Every structure is written in C-alpha cells, then in structure tokens.
Amino acid sequence: MAKELKPRTASGYDTDITAACERTLLTLLSAFGNLKDTLRLVGGLVPRYLTPESPPDVPMHVGTSDVDIVLNLEVLAVGNEYTSLADQLKARGFERWLEDGKAASWRWRRRVDKQIEVVVELLRDAGNDTPGRTVSVSGESVSALTIKHAGIVNDWYREREVAAALLDGGGLSVDVVRFADVPSFVILKAIALDQRQENKDAADLIHVIRYSGSVKEVAALFVDRLRSGLHQEALRDGLAALARRFCDDDYGEGFEKVGAVAYARFFAIENDDERIGAQRYASGLIQALLHEIKIQIESSTA
C-alpha cells in the first residue's frame, strides 16, 4: 500500500472530507449497477453507520479520508458484468491512482472539489492467494487487492439506507449500503493493526467496541459468530491479534503494547498522564472484551 495516504492523527480528519467520502461511495455504487448489492463497505467509513452519532452517549466518529470496498469475485464470476466496469468508473469521474508513474488498477481517485480528493480501494478476499497482491477483475483495467479474511463481510454485514448528493450535481441519491458488522469490522481492523500498526486502525476498532454496546453485549456478538461455525480461522486470527497488540502477557503490560500506544498517538495527547491513561483505557477495554468472550463461551458449554 502507498505510504502517507492517510493522516496519522485525528486532526487530519474532518466532517467535510467524511461527507465527501459518503458522496463518493454513492457515486461509486451507481457505477456498479446491478452488482452494487454484492459490494461490502469496510474501513474507516463504516463506524459512521455502525455506531451513528447519538449525543451525549455516542460521539461523532472522527471520520475517514478514503472508501474501501470488498468485491465478491466468486459471485460475480458467473457473468460478464465487470467487462465495462472501467468505462463506468471513468464515466463518473474516477481515475486510476498513479504511484511512481504507474497506474494502480485497484486504487482509484475522485476529485470532489478543489480541496478534496477521495481515494477508493477495491479489495477482495485473499483465499489461497498471498495477501497484498492484485487480482484482475476486468482485464488489466480494474483489479482488486487481496486482503486476508476480507470475505467474512460477504456473510457478516449490516445494511442501511444512506442519502447523499451524487458528485457533479447528479442529484440526491438514496441507496442501501452494506457494511461490515461489529465482529467482522473489529476482526479486519485487528488484523490490519497487527500487520501495519497504523494509529487510525487502533482508534477505529476501539471506537466501535466502545460504542456498540456494553462489553457483555459486544462479547455476545462475537460468541454468536463463534457458535455459527463460519469463518473460524478469521475469528481466531482476529482475536489473537487483539490479544497480541493490547493485552498483558509475559512480554509486557497491555498498555505498553503497540495497539494501546497507537490509540493514544492518534489523538496526539501531549500530557504524559493523560496519554498513559488513554493507553490503559484501550488495553483495559480489549482485555475486558476477550475475558467476557471466554466467560460466555465457557458458560455455554458447561
């Protein structure tokens, strides 16, 4: 992935950029036509819908600067719907991202106004492929980046109607957006944090866990997924990543771990006591969640 695409602290995000991402999302959906029902939103725009602002209990999420979409290539392979996708994207003002002079067919950009440009990333489940490589979707013109366990969102997602003005004066559009649910969002964010250790990943997953309900309620969502028998490897990997990056172990205390530090750094807390307090909060929340999941699993099998 390209470096420095995303701000590393909360100050780099604002409501205008997030609103531009939402408008870009709905404009993107129109390019996919009858395939839009197969798309799944992941990444930093998801908390906007998963934990909508509800003062004073649920504050506004910090937002995002890009749009991440998981494609279900297995479903779409039965037809030729992707053959004109590049033309549809270009017709709606999307351009392929240029990096080191080369066009990346899995990453697209959309100019919203003079100040804001939104990046769109097309992703797919890695399956047996190596994560981080690109797989063709429509010849050489459109591809998707392989992400480990991204396919869980094809089964574990929520949906809601979203209204936003399409770009270039296309009018107000009301569409159904399908996005990662709490367990799949946290799992994918935990794995991403484990791999790339970005501040925003830590902040996003803590926000969703904190404002999706009580620790018992959130744990119950994971227990339900564990009992389903689906995507067990993804669950194990995600929960292990949470433990590795936030929890006490033989190597150190949880508040000193990468995840807790990344969470505090995202909010650029200068006061030492407040920064350590934020780290302890993040670590404590994750440890409480994992402990509660264990208790609920054990009680259900007793």
Q: CA 290 to CA 247: how far, in whole Å?
A: 9
Q: Tell the burial category of 82 from Cβ atoms under 10 Å away from its Cβ (0-12, 13-18, 19+).
A: buried
Please determine, for residue 84, whether its predicted confidence score (pLDDT) is greater than 90: no
Candidate from 134-138, 243-247, 248-252 with smallest mean pLDDT: 134-138
In the chain, which segments carry CATH 3.30.460?
A: 10-180
Going by pLDDT thresholds of 50, 70 and 90, the confidence category of residue 75 is low
pLDDT recorded at residue 73: 78
Task: Please check the confidence at residue 86 and state whether its pLDDT lies above 90.
Answer: no
Concatenating the DSSP letter of every residue in 90-114 gives HHTT-EEEEETTEEEEEEEEEE-SS
Residue 293 burial (CB count, 10 A): 22
Of residues 137 and 121, more confidently modeled: 121
User: What is the pLDDT, as a whole number, of residue 3?
Assistant: 41
Q: Using the Cα atoms of residue 173, residue 80, residue 124 and residue 219 in order, give the sign of their dihedral.
A: positive
The DSSP 8-state label assigned to residue 259 in this structure reads: H
- Reported as a pLDDT band with limits 50, 70 and 90, residue 61 is very high
Give the pLDDT score at 83: 63
Q: What's the confidence (pLDDT) of residue 13? A: 96
The confidence band for 173, taking pLDDT boundaries of 50, 70 and 90, is very high
Q: Of 66-70, 71-75, 201-205, give the lowest mean pLDDT range.
A: 71-75
From the candidate CATH numbers 1.10.3470, 3.30.70, 3.30.460, 2.40.50, the one assigned to the domain spanning 10-180: 3.30.460
pLDDT in tens, 134-153: 988 866 688 999 999 999 99
